[in-house]
Amino acid sequence: MSDIKLSNVSKTFGIVSVIDDLTLTVKSGEFLVLLGPSGSGKTTILRMIAGLETIDKGTLEIGGQRCESLPPGQRQVAMVFQNYALYPHMSVSGNMAFGLENIGLGKAEIAARIAAAAKLLEMTSLLERYPAQLSGGQRQRVAIGRAIVKQPKAFLFDEPLSNLDAALRVRTRVELAQLHQRLQSTVVYVTHDQTEAMTLADRVVVLNSRHVEQIGTPMEIYHRPATRFVASFVGSPAMNFIQVKTKLNGKKIGIVAPSGKWITLPNASLGKGDVELGIRPESISIVDRDADATGQVKIIERLGERTLLHVQLDKGPLIIVQDSGLSKLNINSPVKLKFNVSQISLFGPDGKSSLRSAAS
Ordered structural domains, the chain, with CATH: 4-230 (3.40.50.300), 238-347 (2.40.50.140)
Confidence bin at 359 (pLDDT 50/70/90): very low
Instruction: Give residue-wise pLDDT tens across range 182-221.
Output: 888 999 999 999 999 999 999 999 999 888 999 999 999 9
Q: What is the pLDDT of residues 236-253, one digit of tens each?
A: 899 999 998 887 766 677
Q: Which of 163-167, 256-260, 328-332, 354-358 has the lowest mean pLDDT?
A: 354-358
pLDDT value at residue 122: 86
Least confident of 21-25, 250-254, 299-303, 329-333: 250-254
- What does the alpha-carbon distance between residue 241 and residue 107 come to, in Å, rounded to a whole number? 61
Residue 123 CA to residue 121 CA, distance in Å, equals 6
CA–CA dist 132, 119 (Å, integer): 21
The pLDDT of residue 321 is 97
Judge whether residue 357 has pLDDT over 70: no
Q: What is the tens place of the pLDDT at every residue in 117-154?
A: 998 888 999 999 999 999 888 898 899 999 999 989 99
Q: Judge contact between 20 and 211, C-beta under 8 A.
A: yes
Neighbour order of strands in the sheet with 16-26: 16-26, 4-13, 57-62, 65-66
Looking at the chain, the whole-number percentage of residues with pLDDT higher than 90 is 66
Is the confidence at residue 279, as pLDDT, over 60? Answer: yes
